[in-house]
Structure 1
């Protein structure tokens, strides 16, 4: 396009010279000469204007030329601000995200088994990458130098008191009590000699054996009956007494009492034990092995469950219009809020990129992008100049001599 525009300028110059050399520049040839002269003026003026945007015309440091190389940073900032203010707005971004129907399109993508396999594989690779980057030494240092000192410095008994109160209020301890009482009943039934030995040790030596046996049998029946009653009745007085005791303990731990201070000291001593660090490392090692075997094992139960979950989600995303519309609205709102909050930072990629360019490089990139239209400006200037020159020549002929 630059060659065409320059060629028209050369053609106009050749026509102009030819008219003055080979004709008397009157009549029809006068119009041709005037048109060629004006075409040269228009072509040179527009060439200067276009060239001045990107460089100094003919290398001459004429004022107000090479505008883009000199003003590229200002141009980048202005363009960045323009985009942030006019495009990265919630009112602009949210409707676009909503109309894109992201949920339905994502659901269609997820329906393909190959895509589900790909997603599961990528999740496994991501997990393996994370686990590979977490060093056991870092976990030990974090536990020893950060977590344990933080826990020791924290006042724990109020939290423990709140936990005990919540457990009693929700009845979450009943299953544990059921388990303990049931096991105690089974053990007592399987070990009757324990009570016999206790009675034999506590009774006087002169006590007849049959008396001890009678007492042991009676005591065994009473104990087993009492344990069975506690086991079978959630409203048993022993259970109610346990609940009251736990609530009283919770109240004592919540205040600055001697039992609260002793409990705090015991907890601190336990936390300072070296075994705590080793236990954390053991748990971390077991967790890593569990995650690896569960997520990275192809064809395993976890993989099957994840694929089933993805399939269910994909079906709902594509078939449940209310669910999809609600999710699209949430995505659109979130995207709009992000654009509104971080629009300036997002748009700054424009100004930062342009600022990183060399001045000549920036001019060349922009000229390459819009150069074709700019050369059309030169072509139009040549043609329009020729037409204007012909019209002006016609007016001069109409003027009185």
Structure 2
């Protein structure tokens, strides 16, 4: 990776710098001993270069011993990371779990991060909404493409139908009917049926004439049948018109009362509920049920795919509108944002408290999966550059200590 390559270059540069300081100290030490009498200032230079070399070599040994045997010599207590990588990995995982993956630490950070508001700021941008909608569509398309029709058939045949057959359905049906009546959702169906009946009778008056003709005795005069037919037709049309136009018509109220009674019977252990169970079970065990479910699934899948692919369609527009509404609330409703942040913080804290050690075990498991050299090289790649400062500081501090010791020897009286 480019990032690792950049780290390797930086590590090499720091190694060269630290080694160059050691070489510089050695050259100064040699020149002072060869070309001067090491008195006066040269004494300070000699002791400084000598101590600098000692410090540089000692720290080079310490840093190198972490990752490998110095100069390839199997000196005890060197190559610490290759030999102890599993122990170090376990210790690091425990350290992270004990000090970072704690409920209070994580939840406090989340509370102060204002995640909900920041998410709203991000989501309000149209391009980000497009990303969310597109990714959601891609996810749905991925799921739809991988759900096999045969799997749906098997699920229906072996799971759904047996489960429905073994479960009492009439109470749920009774509750559904009662809910429909309470909400008045059936009025539209009644309007449609009564309206169509009125229109059909208006356009087909001969139907009533034929019924009267069939039911009347043979000796009845024709004009009597005509009178009865006209009167009956007029009454039926008036009655259907009244039912159609009056939402509080007695027929509608009677229908509502009957539906309520049916819903109550279905929810109890009554003959009606038993008959309903038998009818529903017979319907569910028909061979055509699986085919019907597959047809519904195929139609639903086509509709969903069409909605997903049509980026300018109503589904995408509706989703974007919902995202905009949600984003505005996250940004402006402080009480809502605070509540959401608190829920996220609490949930994250609970999850970390429960699964913190397992999450931290990723560190130890990953390091355990590396071989010794790979572990040493990767860790050195990330921390080796900073460790080279130890060598540099050792060289500089060593030189200063050498100067201080030499000065002290000059001040102290000779023995």
- Mark yes or no: TM-score above 0.5: yes
SS at match of 2:247: coil
1:128 aligns with 2:138: no
SS at match of 2:269: coil
1:2 aligned partner: 15
Give the 5 Å matches for 1:1-400.
Answer: 1-16=14-29, 30-88=43-101, 120-297=133-310, 299-303=312-316, 342-397=355-410, 398-400=412-414
After superposition, the C-alpha distances for 1:170-229 in whole angstroms (9 at most, x for unaligned) are: 332222223222322333333333333333333333333333333333333343343334
Taking structure 1 as reference, are residues 300 and 241 closer, same or farther at Cα in structure 2, changes over 3 Å only? closer
Q: How much has 1:373 moved relative to structure 2? A: 2.9
Structure 2 CA distance, aligned partners of 1:175 and 1:394? Answer: 106
Range that drifts further, 350-359 or 323-332: 323-332
After superposition, the C-alpha distances for 1:295-349 in whole angstroms (9 at most, x for unaligned) are: 3235445555556666666677778888777777776666666656655454444
Structure 2 CA distance, aligned partners of 1:349 and 1:399? Answer: 63
Taking structure 1 as reference, are residues 228 and 30 closer, same or farther at Cα in structure 2, changes over 3 Å only? closer
Structure 2 CA distance, aligned partners of 1:59 and 1:193? Answer: 113
Q: How much has 1:139 moved relative to structure 2? A: 2.0
Taking structure 1 as reference, are residues 241 and 116 closer, same or farther at Cα in structure 2, changes over 3 Å only? closer
Any stretches of 5+ residues in structure 1 without a counterpart? none
Q: How much has 1:156 moved relative to structure 2? A: 0.6
After superposition, the C-alpha distances for 1:63-84 in whole angstroms (9 at most, x for unaligned) are: 3322222333333344344444
| 8 A contact 2:141–2:308 mirrored in 1 | no
Q: What TM-score comes out, normalization by structure 2 length? A: 0.79
Structure 2 CA distance, aligned partners of 1:112 and 1:234? Answer: 48
Q: How much has 1:378 moved relative to structure 2? A: 1.8
Number of aligned positions between the proteins: 401
Any stretches of 5+ residues in structure 2 without a counterpart? 1-13
- What is the Cα-based RMSD across aligned positions, in Å? 3.7
Structure 2 CA distance, aligned partners of 1:387 and 1:214? Answer: 131
SS at match of 1:368: helix
Structure 2 CA distance, aligned partners of 1:305 and 1:284? Answer: 23
Range that drifts further, 316-325 or 278-287: 316-325
Taking structure 1 as reference, are residues 2 and 236 closer, same or farther at Cα in structure 2, changes over 3 Å only? closer
Structure 1 CA distance, aligned partners of 2:238 and 2:144? Answer: 54
Taking structure 1 as reference, are residues 111 and 143 closer, same or farther at Cα in structure 2, changes over 3 Å only? same
| 8 A contact 2:104–2:349 mirrored in 1 | yes
Taking structure 1 as reference, are residues 33 and 295 closer, same or farther at Cα in structure 2, changes over 3 Å only? closer
Structure 1 CA distance, aligned partners of 2:55 and 2:311? Answer: 73
Structure 2 CA distance, aligned partners of 1:310 and 1:23? Answer: 82
Range that drifts further, 286-295 or 144-153: 286-295
Range that drifts further, 169-178 or 304-313: 304-313
Structure 1 CA distance, aligned partners of 2:357 and 2:115? Answer: 25
Structure 2 CA distance, aligned partners of 1:239 and 1:114? Answer: 53
Structure 2 CA distance, aligned partners of 1:310 and 1:248? Answer: 44
SS at match of 1:235: coil
Range that drifts further, 302-311 or 75-84: 302-311
SS at match of 1:64: coil
